[in-house]
Structure formats: C-alpha cells, structure tokens
A = this chain, B = another copy of it.
C-alpha cells in the first residue's frame, strides 16, 4: 500500500479559505489574550515570525494549541523553514473579510 508521503511543505494541514470563516469563529480565536498577543506581535513586526521567537506565558504545548486555533480561524498562515514553523498574519484577507476588526483589536497600546 502507498504510504502517505507528507514530505516537504506537506507538514502543515491546509489553510481554510477566509471567506468560509464566520465572525463567531474569529472572535473566539481573538478573545484569548495569548492569541491576541501573537496576533499583535505579528501585526507590529510586519514580518513572519517563528513560533519560538514570540515568547508566551505558557508552555510549548499550549502555545502549539494557540497557533492551531489561529490557523483554523484563518488568521495566520503557517509554513516550515527548516525546523522552524513560521507564522504569517493574513492581514489583507482579514481586513477584507472583517473590515476594521484587526485595527480595532490590535492597534491599541495595551497596558492590560
């Protein structure tokens, strides 16, 4: 029998089309402060970041979970670069599907 190849880029499950994502799912993703931190840092950095370069107040396995939720919600795109998993904010797509949302949530000096 054929064994699943799954080499190269195939290590990441397909990303959802952003148009199929509802506001509900996006909000559920963004309501978690850790996930909002991730999005904020990607937004501010204006470049893709490896999971490891964002330091989060949670364990590694929990961090993985949060990146997963963000990916499923259509907010980030992930790809591998060597052993590093890179994260890209899907900014334009988000802005098109949910105008004003990112800006309202992320472009704040959060002292919270």
Contacts and interface: CB of A to CB of B under 8 A. Distances in A.
The A interface is mostly helix, strand or loop, or mixed, namely: helix
A56 interface: no
A24 B112 contact: yes
Range of interface residues on chain A? 10 to 19
Interface stretch (A58-66, A73-81, A102-110): A102-110
Nearest to A99: B104
Interface string A18-52: 00001110011011010000000000000000000
Interface of A: 22-24, 27-28, 30-31, 33, 98-101, 103-105, 108, 110, 112
17 contacts: A22-B112, A23-B105, A23-B108, A23-B112, A24-B33, A24-B112, A27-B105, A28-B31, A31-B31, A98-B104, A98-B108, A99-B104, A100-B100, A100-B103, A101-B104, A101-B105, A104-B104
